[in-house]
Amino acid sequence: MVLIANHLSMGLSPESFALPKNHLFFINFVFQFKFMRKIEHIGIAVANLEASNLLFEKLLGYPPYKEEEVSSEGVKTSFFKNGPNKIELLEATNPDSPIAKFLEKKGEGIHHIAFDVENIVTEIDRLKKEGFVVLNELPKKGADNKLVAFLHPKGTNGVLIELCQEIT
């Protein structure tokens, strides 16, 4: 198993191993897990960040640990931590922003699910090869010290998927 992990960390694909077919399923699982490591956060579009912060503070029992504006996306955000999980509240700061358009079309609610990835450029390339439509092929600076990219929800059962990589 350590040998397999070493080969995977060197960028070799699971198909390059000379193993019986029933072992390839497990290796494919390990290989894919390496890229989408965990759910990083759930993004919720809100009409009023201040009111929503108070609501989630009552719900969770503590205030957000961070608030910031991402002017390039026309959004103000706040983050709550609940154990290892995070919730991002998003309020539009201009009427042309993606969040404003989402709120107009669908109202408040879950906007996206974000996944932590080891290497966002590699993951974008992998997902494009798998047939997913990437909305921004070059990662951009997002909130909470992350590089981000999004997958079109038409290819992911109606769910906007965000890829996140910690900026180091």
CATH of the domain at 82: 3.10.180.10
**Residues of the domain holding 119:** 37-166
Q: How far apart are CA 16 and CA 8, in angstroms?
A: 10
Question: What is the domain count for the chain?
Answer: 2
Contact 131, 155 (CB under 8 A): yes
Q: Residue 64: count other Cβ atoms within 10 Å of its Cβ.
A: 19
Residue-level pLDDT at 6: 41
Q: Is the same domain home to 43 and 63? A: yes
Q: How far apart are CA 32 and CA 106, in angstroms?
A: 32
Residue-level pLDDT at 40: 96
SS3 75: strand
- pLDDT tens digits for the chain (168 residues)? 334 444 444 455 555 555 555 554 544 444 544 678 899 999 999 999 999 999 999 999 999 999 999 998 999 999 999 999 999 999 999 999 999 999 999 999 999 999 999 999 999 999 999 999 999 989 999 999 999 999 999 999 999 999 999 998
Q: Is the same domain home to 156 and 143? A: yes
